[in-house]
Amino acid sequence: MTLSTSLQNRNAVICGASTGIGREIALAMSAQGANVFLIARSHDKLESLAAECKSAGAGSTHFATCDLEDTDAVRAVATQALGELEAIHILVNNSGGPPGGPLLDADIEDFLKPMRRHLFAAHELVKAFSPSMASEKYGRILNIISTSVKEPIAGLGVSNTVRGAVASWAKTLSKELPADVTINNLLPGFTATDRLDSLQSSVAERRGISVDDVASEWLGTIPAQRLGDPREIAALAAFLASPAGAYVRGQSIAVDGGRLNSI
């Protein structure tokens, strides 16, 4: 086994690729030579990103729009990816989180929509791609979740629930997948993305305080004393997707500047 971080001749499917962490993962894997298949809802953003990935070093670039809450669309895009790439070696399950709010304010449909987008879509994609990974004797499944799977975050009741379900699903799969196919969860902490800006605004409105006050409270819980950079999560994702990451399996790895209190 070669402990290389190169992704040359590896085919990666990256969900939620148009912005934030997904976008940076696409660029990081492209820089390591991967062929990338980008999935998101915005055609224009995907088209632009595909060109950037090619410039960054991707062997080839492909993209398709897809609403991850639509199971039939997820199955169709999986078929398209297999048709264009022939084999899939890397899958990044990534999607925007549900709105914030107290758990008791949530209705059943408030759970079902993000469950479809996160857990059900990920499950369909793994079912579609794992035979190819097994045949190729190389598979890396990465789930971008949240530190809430270790310590629930106040005001994100539905998200805490859904993210926890994905983490348990992944841990179970880590025992069932073939020896050459790994699955791991990346747990971003407070990371500078549009999603965090939206959460910050909703928390401020709900509590009747300023956005700056929310930001100060959050920063006060982070020993690194700053927000995370999406590229820092992307760097870990690219490593775990590489041959060098082969012995990391079934783990939930926080990238949070030390914010979590649990071991």
Sheet arrangement for strand 252-255:
61-65, 35-40, 11-15, 90-93, 139-144, 181-188, 252-255
Domain edges within the chain: 11-191+229-255
In the numeric block, which tokens belong to residue 184?
């791991």
For domain 11-191+229-255, give the CATH number. Answer: 3.40.50.720
pTM: 0.94
| pLDDT tens readout for residues 6-58 | 999 999 999 999 999 999 999 999 999 999 999 999 999 999 999 999 999 99
Identify the pLDDT of residue 52: 98
Q: What percent of the chain has pLDDT over 90?
A: 84
* Distance separating alpha carbons of residues 25 and 142, to the nearest angstrom: 11
